[in-house]
Amino acid sequence: MRKQIAAANWKMNKTIEEGIALVKEIINADIKLNKNNEVLFSVPFPYLSTIKDLISSNGYMFVAAQNCHHKKNGAYTGEVSVEMLKSIGIEYCLVGHSERREYFAESNQVIAQKVDLCLELGITPVFCCGEPLEIRDLLSQNQYVSNQLNESLFHLSTEDIKKVIIAYEPIWAIGTGRTASSDQAQEMHAHIRSVLISKYSFEVAEDISILYGGSVKGANANELFSMQDVDGGLVGGASLVASEFIQVIQALK
């Protein structure tokens, strides 16, 4: 069975003191999970090592970076390379989050470069994809997401694509309080898996975790995660509240 994952994305929130308190509360909840479950904390760059040390004794918890640069190194003031992340033991990295696409004009081609660098250095990319409201209103979401996959992932070998986690995030349901219904989430996740089957194989597609990322919270996590092709969530606002994120974690299959 593929991994079922609760991934917290703190974005640009929390002081280090607040972050430590949040993670400690989650750890102290003594959540019972099975070997197929994972929890990721995608935290701001300054906190990566601190949070990593905090969870080091928890075998199902990991730290993820929220971004990386698409070049190996160089004169890119203020940027963080994949090599830097690797040097401090980071094992996961978000790539292509909708906010990076929208606010920083990251293209599918740039995101493909980030994916490649992560895989080259043994970091698991959490590849984000999803459509804006105008695309959903045109009923063109399947084609839109298929194009994102094609341009950013489908150059990968069979062995490499199996190392990628995919997060579907309908942009119209991020931070708006508006959530795709569980049926809408399942429909897109099933589409993504069908596209993976067409490009690779059924066996490969069945092993790839696809997370849902659109206003996931304690109240809807059970229903969303019960869908056949929804393998957990990429959680924004609810991951900043320990009691909420604990409920999300407990909802994992």
Tell me the per-residue pLDDT of 84-125, one tens digit each, with 9 for 90 and over: 999 999 999 999 999 999 999 999 999 999 999 999 999 999
Share of the chain above pLDDT 70, in %: 98
Tell me the per-residue pLDDT of 135-164, one tens digit each, with 9 for 90 and over: 998 999 999 999 999 999 999 999 999 999
Yes or no: is domain 4-250 CATH 3.90.600.10?
no
Q: Which residue has the tokens 């079922």?
A: 4
CB within 8 A of 178, min separation 6: which ones? 172, 215
44 pLDDT more than 70:
yes
CA–CA distance, 213 with 235 (Å, rounded to integer): 6
Average pLDDT over the chain, rounded to whole? 96
Task: Indicate which residue of 169, 189, 191, 244 is catalytic.
Answer: 169
Q: According to the model, what pLDDT value does residue 177 have?
A: 66
DSSP state string for 46-104: GGHHHHHHHTTT-TTEEEEES---SSSSSS-TT---HHHHHHTT--EEEES-HHHHHHH
Annotated catalytic residue 159: no
Share of the chain above pLDDT 90, in %: 92
Q: Which residue has the tokens 């589409």?
A: 191
Q: Report the greatest alpha carbon distance in the chain.
A: 48
Q: Which of 96-105, 171-180, 194-203 has the lowest mean pLDDT?
A: 171-180
Task: Indicate which residue of 97, 99, 106, 131 is catalytic.
Answer: 97
Alpha carbon separation from 79 to 34, 42, 111, 114 (Å, rounded): 37, 17, 15, 13
